[in-house]
Every structure is written in C-alpha cells, then in structure tokens.
Amino acid sequence: MPDPADLVALASAVAREAGELLLARHGQAAVVQTKSSPTDVVTEMDHAAERLIRDRLLAARPDDAILGEEGGQTGTGLVRWVVDPLDGTVNYLYGLPGWAVSVAAEVAGVVVAGAVCVPLQRSTFTATLGGGAWLDSAFDGSPRRLACNSGLELRDALVATGFGYPAGQRAAQGRVVAAVLPRVRDIRRAGAAAVDLCSVAAGRVDAYYEQGTHYWDIAAGGLIAREAGAVTGGLRGDEPGEAMTLAADPVLFAELRDLLASLDADRLPAG
Ligand code: IPD
C-alpha cells in the first residue's frame, strides 16, 4: 500500500513546479479553446502545465493512472492522480492572483493525499487522510496546521461560491445567491474552487458552495477542507460533486445545506 506521506510529497512537488511554469505567462496566456460556453476558456498554459505534471508523475510512478482536466483518464492502477493543472483559468488570464494547481492521489478510489499550490499567495496547502491539513506559506516561518472556523450561525458566515459557465445555469445560480445573500454576513466569488476549499480550511471564509464543480476541481481541496475539520457533501446525504459541493464546519454545513436544499440549488438547469 503506498504511503500517503510519499504521495503528498510528490503531489506538492509537482504542483509547485507547475505553479512556477504557470507564473511565467501569468496575465499573458493565449486562449486556445473554449469548452462548455464561449466564456469557459482553456489557455496554452493549462495544457503545458498538465503535460509537465503528467511527465513528472509518470517518471516517479510509471504504473499509476491519471485523470486530468485537459487530458482525461490515462492508465489503470491502484493509485490514480486527479489533476487540475490550472484551476481559476479566468483569473490567470486576467492576471488576478486567485488561481491554483491542484493534485490529488486516490488509492483504491479514496483520496488519501492532496496538494493545492497557489503561487501568487506563495502558498501550498496539503493534506493526507487522517494526517491533518497544512499550509506552507512564504509568510509563515514553518508549515502550520489548519482548522476551519466553527461555532458560527449562518447569519454570521462569510460564504464563498462560484458559478458555472453556461448562461442558463448562471441565471439560476444568480437566483440562488440572491436568496442566500440576505441571510449571511456576505458572499465571496474568488474564481477557483480549489482555492475556495482551501480558504474554508484556513478560516478565510466560513463556508463554500457551488453547483457544477468537476471532480478535479475538488479532489485535493475537499480532502484539505475535511482534514481541517469541515464536512464536505451534497445537499441530500450525497458525496460532493457536480450537483453540489458544500463545505463548512458541521453545524454551519447543516444550516446552509437546509437553506440550499429549500432553494433546490442542486437541481438547477445545467445549460
Ligand atoms: C472553474 C473555477 C471556478 C468555478 C468553476 C470552475 P476552471 O475552474 O474553479 O471558480 O466557479 O466552476 O469550472 O475552469 O478555472 O478550471
């Protein structure tokens, strides 16, 4: 059985190296493709970062499988890497700082290690299953263990969210957030799901919810949030996923889940 400590060390090293590569073209990259809508862009650097990550992972562990946002699934094996080479592509395109490289490792289908590197925060968030969540930041002397905020009611909570790209989905998400906004301290839309989940872990926001996230957006950040004490899930006892990804400390999770379920926030039109 692979040691999660070895997996997280590799995840962190490759995420940082890809982050360095991405820094070179930050705010200057060319769009090469659109996906679910004309606003859902892919830059040359999404592809370059994923190529680098795949090369490094396979050089270190040639028998592993990899699921990447741009390259899809390759290989089979006990260990599968789940990679978002550039989460927050629109931030990256515009030169905003909230973008990240996200690398998670599953063993037999369970995420056991994850790293999210946020180069312009000079920060790498990591976690192993049962080993806690950690932040290695240039602003701190040494890595520090993370704990999400707890003991809050919804009316006092700072809630992060995100929006999909298709216009119809956005219109519906706008109606949901309009109903949430008067019931919370405030809303943040930072632009990268992996960073939002790490922000829950670090207590920089109190909760995060979004419909339409992909597995590579949330695999590493979800583990990091859970290891910092948050619950992650959908609205009806399900796993976090495309229908809904919600993360918060258990009490706040329940209150926000009930509100979002009453709004059918996990049953919005996808397009
Ligand atoms: C997106 C970001 C964004 C979220 C979208 C994601 P991408 O990922 O995480 O914050 O709202 O749902 O698709 O397209 O930048 O990799």
pLDDT digits (tens, 9 = 90+) for 93-123: 999 999 999 999 999 999 999 999 999 999 9
The reply to whether 39 and 130 lie within a common domain is yes
Nearest atom in ligand 1 to the alpha carbon of residue 89 is 15
The per-residue pLDDT for range 153-198, each reduced to its tens digit, is: 999 999 999 999 999 999 999 999 999 999 999 999 999 999 999 9
Together in a domain, 59 and 109:
yes
Distance CA 235, CA 240 (A): 8
Does 203 lie in the same domain as 120?
no
Give the domain extent around 130.
Answer: 4-145
Q: Considering 145, 164, 181, which residue would you say is the last residue of a domain?
A: 145
pTM equals 0.97
Q: Which stretch of DSSP H or E encloses residue 84?
A: strand 79-87
Token pair for residue 169?
A: 């989905």
CATH number at residue 238: 3.40.190.80
Measuring CA to CA, how many Å separate 133 from each of 43, 56, 144, 209, 252? 30, 24, 8, 20, 20
pLDDT on residue 126: 98
CA of 76 to the centre of ligand 1 (A): 27
Residues 140 and 177 reside in one and the same domain = no
In this structure, what token pair is assigned to residue 1? 């059985």
Cα atoms in the 13 Å half-sphere on the side-chain side of 251: 10
**For residue 245, how far is its CA from the centre of ligand 1 (angstroms)?**
12
- CATH assignment at residue 57: 3.30.540.10
The answer to whether residues 223 and 246 belong to one domain is yes
Distance 191 CA to ligand 1 centre (A): 6
Q: What is the pLDDT of residue 41?
A: 76
pLDDT of residue 243: 96
- The full length of the chain comes to 271
Count structural domains, the chain: 2
Amino acid 204: pLDDT: 98
Q: Which residue has the tokens 């650097």?
A: 45
246 within some domain: yes
- Indicate whether 134 and 222 sit together in one domain: no
Q: What is the pLDDT of residue 271?
A: 64
Per-10-residue mean pLDDT for the chain, 271 residues long? 96 98 88 84 90 98 96 95 96 95 97 98 98 96 96 97 94 97 98 98 98 97 98 97 97 98 91 64
pLDDT for position 43: 85
Residue 267 within a domain: no
- Pocket of ligand 1, beta carbon within 6 A: 84, 87-89, 162-164, 191-193, 210, 212-213, 217
| Beta-carbon count within 10 A of 117 CB | 29
- Do 180 and 103 share a structural domain? no
Residue 269 domain flag: no
Domain boundary, last residue among 128, 145, 162: 145
Which ranges constitute the DSSP H helices of the chain? 4-23, 44-60, 89-94, 167-180, 193-201, 215-227, 250-262
In the listed set 145, 170, 194, which residue is the last one of a domain according to the structure? Answer: 145
Closest residue by CA, ligand 1 atom 16: 87
Q: Give the three-class secondary structure for 4.
A: helix
Distance CA 218, CA 127 (A): 13
Residues 133 and 200 grouped into a single domain: no
